[in-house]
Amino acid sequence: MSFSPLDNHQNGSPIVNLPRVTMCLDKEFQDEFKEEFPDPPKNENMKVYARVRPMLQKEEDEGYRDCIAAIDDETVRAVVPANSVKFKNSGLNPQDVYDFKYSQAFGPDIGQFVFFENTIMDAMLGYIEGQNCLIFNYGITNSGKTYTLQGNEANPGIIPLAMHLFFGCIEKQLMDDICVKPDKFSDIVVLNDTQRAQEYRLKEELLRMVDHDSFNKTSASDTSVVGKASKSFSQILCDCFRDDFNYQTETTLPPDEMIAAQSALYMRELGKKSVDEQPGTCNIWVSFIEIYNEYIYDLLQPNITQRQKLSLAEDQNGDVYVKGAREISVSNSTEAIKLAYVGRKNLRIAATKLNYQSSRSHCIFTVKIARVFDDEEHGKSGRVNRISFCDLAGSERANKSQTSGMRLKEAGYINTSLMVLGRCLDQLRRNQTAKDKKMIPFRESKLTRLFSNHFLGKGKAVMIANASPCEYTFDETLNVLRFSALAKDLTISDSYISTAQSSILDICSQWHKSKNRVSDVSADQSYDLDSSFAEELEKRDEMIEKLVDVAESLKKNLEQEKKEKIELEFKIRQEVGNDYAAYSDELLDEQKKIFERQIESLREIYKQRFDAMKETYEKKIHDLQEELNESDDSFENSISEINKTFDKIEEESLISFSPAVGQPSKQGILFQSEL
């Protein structure tokens, strides 16, 4: 079935918001409402599933042993090893064994398909029926989180299996063209021809980035031990979700594998039944973002160097969404999986001691249904719901992962956001029984703020706790098991939904009874209504007006409380800022005084050194001066002695001449020759 965007705007405007379905107090609406919600929704605990991965060959080669295992369908047991911090700090009476209860627990022998069937199928049915769903995993680094969500070619994970199942069920309700697109959180807009052409070009550009060979061989090197039979069986399981698949003619499998294929067919039939109950047709859109060092980036932006930081925003209903994130239209599971592959290539990944492909950011893959259907009052109307798959980065300790520099900074942001998530879930759990309910710190992290709606009753949330059995990371894994087991006790409250539905049903019922009683009165008897019936009608009208007044009052109170909370938050932030500024000034003054004292001390030290050096050099100069004076006296005495000797020699030379003949004597001649 195709849907023409011109049905809703003949003037050719570029974007037209489709109206949402609104209440109408008549019998038809009441009957439809009762059919859709036969019973008021009930609160339910958040589903938490534990999965323990097998020991790695590297861990076994280094001599480590396994100390964590799933002992039954709901329990994970942790045995404290002797080399753990927990054992060393346990004191005289250590506890050797810890047991943790979950919605379900899975060991290393459970495959990807069985895990998907037992954990995600309920969320997928809720998503198809119009609910918002969140599936996120939690655990330390290298505990199998990414493998659980994404898998590989031989063993596809939750995301590929969910896409095959979803498109296999909803295939007949897809529009022939890209006609509508989600906007903000739950709004929907109609696209014109120019915008549709732009969406097609953007999708083609991204799909061209996927090299066909490398896409088909994704992670094949990591699963070289898997045989061809397993790969073909995995492909058959994905094919079972297709609407035109017939296992009786297309498969010849062993009995065990045939049971799994029949389970896949049963899952497809359940999904198709839910799809058939949904009105209208739809377009499917996907987005892929990451939260890196508390900044949000679009993973479907092909040029990494030109990525812009995205921000969170709120719509008119207070729902949080990522402003500016790309949303790409997809028409089948292959396109959705390819776009997920494009996003994974842009993820921030680095090598640490614990994991040579460690994710350094939280990545979120979201699939939205933009559904259009006919409404008697408004004509074409729309509805948007989503399912988000969140692959959280693993918590880690710097001394074990041996990170430094930028890797250490990334680990700090990762651990901080996970700590805020833990605080939010813990405070939600405490508020369930506490009289004095405290504020949930959703705004302290972009991750928790983005998913706050799912924890407040506006959708389903499924948590997967991935655990490593290796004793080397026992202390970190124990914290993961302890926190996730407590999260199982969290009740996803939807009391405001049930209250609203009960009020609407009550109003509808009373209004319908009044209409029936009035319609039963003939035209001739319309003026003969007794006073009691008139009074009853007036009372019912007054009650309806009071309910409307109560609703308006609650709305005003909610707005006022929201305003007060914002003002309180601003005041607290301002006070904290002022206190920090005063503390900084005090710290600066103290450092200034310490610096001045150090300078004065250095001045004294160097002055003493200078005086000592001056005294030493003055003494040396005095000694040298005395030596010079003594040298001058000795030099003058030597000159005087030389002069006396010369005079004496000259005198003797004159006497040696003969006066008689005026000729020098022989001795005089010899003396002159010597001179």
Q: Which residues are annotated as a binding site for ATP?
A: 139-146
619-629 CB burial, b ≥16 within 10 A, e <16:
eeeeeeeeeee
Q: Which residues of 274-289 are buried (b: 16+ CB within 10 A; e: fewer)?
A: bbeebebbbbbbbbbb
Which two tokens mark 324? 């500016």
Instruction: Report the alpha-carbon distance of residue 428 to residue 452 in Å, rounded.
Output: 11
Both structure tokens of 199: 């969406």
Strands 44-45 and 491-492: antiparallel
* Strand, helix or coil for residue 405: coil
Q: What CA–CA distance (Å, rounded) separates 462 from 133?
A: 8
Query: How far is the C-alpha of 416 from the C-alpha of 421, rounded, in Å?
Result: 9
Are the CB atoms for 188 and 17 separated by under 8 Å? yes
Q: How far apart are CA 79 and CA 579, in angstroms?
A: 46
Rg (CA), the chain: 43
- What size, in residues, is the chain? 675
Q: How many DSSP H helices and E strands does the chain contain? A: 21, 21
Q: Which helix (H) or strand (E) holds 504?
A: helix 495-520
d(CA 51, CA 484): 11
Is the torsion defined by CA of 549, 553, 558, 563 positive or negative? positive
Residue position matching structure tokens 């949080």: 320
Closest CA to 182 of 371, 449, 13: 371
Contact (Cβ atoms closer than 8 angstroms) between residue 287 and residue 366: yes
d(CA 82, CA 90): 11
- DSSP string of 568-607? HHHHHHHHHHHHHHHHHHHHHHHHHHHHHHHHHHHHHHHH
DSSP helix/strand/coil, 48: strand
Q: What is the DSSP string of 137-152?
A: EE-BTTSSHHHHHHB-
State the virtual CA torsion across 206, 208, 213, 219 in degrees, nearest 10: -10
How many of the other CB atoms lie within 10 Å of CB of 573? Answer: 10
Query: DSSP string spanning 445-509?
Result: -HHHHHTHHHHTTSSEEEEEEEE--BGGGHHHHHHHHHHHHHHTT-EE--HHHHHHHHHHHHHHH
Residues tagged in the binding site annotation? 139-146
Angle in degrees, CA 178, 364, 129, rounded to 5:
55
Cα 329 from chain centroid?
Answer: 24
Q: Which two tokens stand for residue 507?
A: 């109003």
* Residues ≥6 apart with Cβ < 8 Å to 272: 169, 243
Residue 397 has φ and ψ, to the nearest 5°, of: -105, 135
Which DSSP symbol is given to 353?
S
DSSP 8-state symbol, 84: S
